[in-house]
């Protein structure tokens, strides 16, 4: 075990199909454990808000992939994450939401952490049946200003179309529309699902059933995380 893992920082990767509730759990884990949260989806959406002329060719191309619900090329995403040095070295630790999404990205992350003398503690993998995922994504609404997440049935805002947190306008992300959702699910199965085996083999995988309320799933995440840490420390003690 690396020194980095023995420090008080918690360094997590969140895995899960689109709609499994990763984003909501990321924000709970960020607030309650005081971690630096890094979402490659948010970083990419941030580029979208930059003025067109300031974008590089690679960034413009990345946004076209994103609108179609396809993965952005590995090199572009890895470069975006590598720029976030302060977050990766945050004294309380970090959580990566939506990265890595391919084996090449996972290997690039390993290298980035190795060079920085850091190690991962766990990979929380949120698991939910396909039909539940489709229902969640169809009703999901996102605040265009602060990115808070709602659902038309299970988590409606107090005023329809208005964010409770910041008063911003709520809407459906382009890639939550049915055509893009189908592409995202197929891409997830093909490119991202194999990461579970990759991290299982490293003893880092922590599967979390993603049914129930966000609070229930959050509590379950902490219990699973502690169980993994306990199992790891007892195996080190053996
Ligand atoms: P998310 O908000 O994590 O669902 O990401 C939204 C979209 O951004 C995805 O559908 C991809 O087009 C792109 N994206 C986000 N993270 C990655 C990544 N790690 N690799 C490739 N594309 C990504």
Q: What is the pLDDT along the chain (238 residues), one digit of tens a residue?
A: 344 444 678 999 999 998 888 888 999 999 999 999 999 998 998 887 776 667 888 888 988 898 888 899 999 999 999 999 999 999 999 999 999 999 999 999 999 999 999 999 999 999 988 778 877 888 889 998 988 889 998 889 999 999 999 999 999 988 788 778 888 888 899 999 999 999 999 999 999 999 998 999 999 999 999 888 888 777 766 6
CB proximity list for 164: less than 8 A, separation 6 or greater: 148, 157, 158
Listed in sequence order, the DSSP H helices in 19-150 are 22-33, 40-49, 57-67, 74-82, 85-88, 103-115, 130-139
Ligand 1: distance of its center to the CA of 123 in Å? Answer: 18
**149 within ligand 1 shell (Cβ under 6 A):** no
**147 within ligand 1 shell (Cβ under 6 A):** no
Residues with catalytic annotation?
22, 101, 140, 173, 184
How many Cβ atoms sit within 10 Å of the Cβ of residue 207?
Answer: 15
**Measured from the CA of 180, which atom of ligand 1 is nearest?**
10
Look at residue 107 in the predicted model and tell me its pLDDT: 97
CA gap 102, 114 in Å, rounded: 18
**What radius of gyration do the chain's Cα atoms show?**
18
**18 within ligand 1 shell (Cβ under 6 A):** yes
Q: What angle do CA 52, 55, 58 make, to 5 degrees?
A: 130
Look at residue 175 in the predicted model and tell me its pLDDT: 79
State pTM to two decimals: 0.83
Closest CA to ligand 1's atom 8: 41
Look at residue 72 in the predicted model and tell me its pLDDT: 94
CA gap 79, 64 in Å, rounded: 18
């Amino acid at each position: 075990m690396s020194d980095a893992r023995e420090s008080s920082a918690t360094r997590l990767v969140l895995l899960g199909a689109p709609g499994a509730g990763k984003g909501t759990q990321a924000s709970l884990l960020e607030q309650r454990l005081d971690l630096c949260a890094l979402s490659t989806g948010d970083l990419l959406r941030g580029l979208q808000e930059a003025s067109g002329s300031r974008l590089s060719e690679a960034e413009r191309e990345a946004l076209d992939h994103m609108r179609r619900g396809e993965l952005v090329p590995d090199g572009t995403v890895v470069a975006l994450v590598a720029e976030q040095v302060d977050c990766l070295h945050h004294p309380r630790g970090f959580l990566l939401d939506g990265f890595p999404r391919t084996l090449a990205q996972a290997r690039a992350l390993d290298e980035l952490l190795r060079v920085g003398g850091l190690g991962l503690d766990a990979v929380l993998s949120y698991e939910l049946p396909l039909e539940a995922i489709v229902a969640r994504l169809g009703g999901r609404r996102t605040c265009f200003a602060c990115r808070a997440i709602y659902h038309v049935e299970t988590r409606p805002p107090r005023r329809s179309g208005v964010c409770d947190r910041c008063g911003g306008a709520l809407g459906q992300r382009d890639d939550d529309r049915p055509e893009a959702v189908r592409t995202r699910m197929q891409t997830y199965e093909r490119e991202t699902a194999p990461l579970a085996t990759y991290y299982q083999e490293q003893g880092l995988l922590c599967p979390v059933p993603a049914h129930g309320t966000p609070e229930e799933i959050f509590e379950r995440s902490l219990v699973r995380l502690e169980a993994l840490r306990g199992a790891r420390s007892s195996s080190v003690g053996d």
